[in-house]
Amino acid sequence: MRISSQLLLNFLLNAVWQIALIVALASLGAWLLRSSSARYRHWLWVGALCLAFFVPAATSVRAYFETPAPAIVEPIVVNEPFRARSLPEGTTTSTDLLPSVIQLNTALVFLLLGIYGIVVLYRSFRLAQAWQTTRTIKRNALELEPDDKIDAIINKCESDLATGARRLRVLRSETLPVPVTMGLGQPVIILPSALLREGNTELLTSAIGHEFIHVTRHDYVLNFIYELLYLPISFHPAAALLRRRIKQTRELCCDELVATRIVKAEVYARSLLRLAGSAPTLRRLSVTTTVGIADADILEARIMSLLTKPRVTTRWRKTLLFAVSLLLLVPCVAAAAAFNLRFDMQDAVTQDPAVQEKDRVKEVEKERQSVELRARQSADVMKEKIAADPALRGELERRREFELEMREVANAAMLRLAKITMEQAIQVATSHKPGKVLLATLGAKGWEEPGKLAKDGVVFYHVQIADEVNNSSTHVFINALDGTLIKTEQELPRKQQRPENQ
């Protein structure tokens, strides 16, 4: 539950500003491509929709799995005498900064996720309802009556568009006001009966040709995919703009292809004006799952696009398209990689420090008892084995001698690699955390082989400083090469390290 909440929270809050950025860049790119072919603007808006979903999703996953560097554990220790002195003037220290996490109130988090869930459920219900409406339209459609004129138009469209040997199904409907295309696996074109009875050849050729273009472009399948991508980001107003621009540019693409391959632009413009202007708009429920000639609400722009030709040459068109693609992709990738915000919700215990400290003490004590129990059991088992097998005793002694020898080699290597003295390390530690020094040791992590440190290995001083006010201590780790601060760890108060019943 917590994992899913954290992923959704990061997705939701990062999507607020990332989608706005993507839509702004896509709008600028569409303006730059305003004099080029409509298909370039269409794929620009489709790419923006994909980025609007995948950029926040990638940011959410990255924020969840992004963890701080592991702490240094199990150092090899060499004790040295020490004498604390004040830090010389001009000496500086540095800390490793961990990625910041914005903590939000738990109630606020669940409120935001609840509202988001309601919006997504509502949009899902509308999509399912639209899908059911589309199936009803298809189920109520009727077969075409034999008509030589309609057959000739269909054959002409199939020939001009090279749809292949498979003949597309063309049906009629008494309820639809305009032609539509539907069907995932087997596309079907449904024509209004009123249009068929009118018998206008130019009008029929334009309508049927437009729907054939939708089929050859696989617009129905792609539209369904776009609707699924739109669902998780449907809460954002800019996402609705993306969806509307995709529908509009899709119709402009189909208009260009019809005017290029099937009928003349002037003839198609007149037909489009009659088809899209005289018929009422389809109901919202069916618009989301069908594609047709009346989908877009930009009739004037479609007519003007047909009557004017692009003013950009092919060479400059490709160059401009490449530049616009970089304009859209580079900032989005940079925003997802370098400027992702991390959000998390506060635990109930973090809101009450006393409860948090009490539970933490219980967990520490429980873990300590478990470790002691396993250690005693392991020691008892080992004593029994040694008593029963004298050869094992000799093997253990040889192994112990080898470990002592390797420890001496490691200690000598650490002393050789350390560039600052123990006293200097103590000065750095006490300047960061003033107090009485309880312990100071030299350690290392990341051995490549005995006596040789790996490239990512580190030699460090571990200084334990007493905190008399809280009756606890602070562990400070200093880099033995340059004297910088690696990290600090606060130890639990000694009075709380015992169980409550003791």
Sign of CA dihedral 29, 31, 35, 41: positive
Q: Which of 90-104, 130-144, 181-195, 220-234 has the highest mean pLDDT?
A: 220-234
Q: Provide the token pair at 227.
A: 């609707």
Q: Provide mean pLDDT across the span 105-110.
A: 84
| Secondary structure (DSSP) of 345-408 | EPPTGGG-HHHHHHHHHHHHHHHHHHHHHHHHHHHHHHHHHHHH-HHHHHHHHHHHHHHHHHHH
Structure confidence by residue, pLDDT tens digits, 389-401: 777 777 778 888 8
Q: Is 233 a residue whose pLDDT tops 90?
A: yes
* % pLDDT > 90, the chain: 13
Look over the chain and give the mean of its residue pLDDT values, rounded to a whole number: 78
Structure confidence by residue, pLDDT tens digits, 273-285: 887 665 554 444 3
Tokens 């940079």 label which residue? 334
Q: Is 160 a residue whose pLDDT tops 60?
A: yes
Structure confidence by residue, pLDDT tens digits, 425-462: 898 888 888 888 888 898 888 877 777 778 888 889 99
Q: Which of 126, 221, 147, 220 is nearest to 179 (CA)?
A: 220
Q: Which of 292, 261, 284 is nearest to 192 (CA)?
A: 292
At 493, is the pLDDT very low, low, confident or very high (cuts 50, 70, 90)?
low
pLDDT at residue 502 in the model? 40
At 93, is the pLDDT very low, low, confident or very high (cuts 50, 70, 90)?
very low
Q: Which of 118-132, 165-179, 301-315 has the highest mean pLDDT?
A: 118-132
At 222, is the pLDDT very low, low, confident or very high (cuts 50, 70, 90)?
very high
Q: Is 140 a residue whose pLDDT tops 50?
A: yes
Instruction: Return the higher-pLDDT residue of 113 and 83.
Output: 113
Rg (CA), the chain: 36
pLDDT at residue 100 in the model? 61
pLDDT at residue 81 in the model? 39
* % pLDDT > 70, the chain: 80
At 240, is the pLDDT very low, low, confident or very high (cuts 50, 70, 90)?
very high
The verdict on domain 389-496 having CATH code 3.10.450.40 is yes
Tokens 């350690």 label which residue? 443
Residues near 492 by beta carbon (within 8 Å), at least 6 away in sequence: 360, 361, 364, 472
Listed by start position, the domains of the chain span 114-311, 389-496
Q: Is 500 a residue whose pLDDT tops 70?
A: no
490 pairs with which residues across the strands?
Answer: 474
Structure confidence by residue, pLDDT tens digits, 43-70: 999 999 999 999 888 888 887 776 444 4
Q: Which of 77-91, 137-151, 362-376, 444-458 has the highest mean pLDDT?
A: 137-151
pLDDT at residue 118 in the model? 94
Q: Is 229 a residue whose pLDDT tops 90?
A: yes
Distance CA 250, CA 40 (A): 10
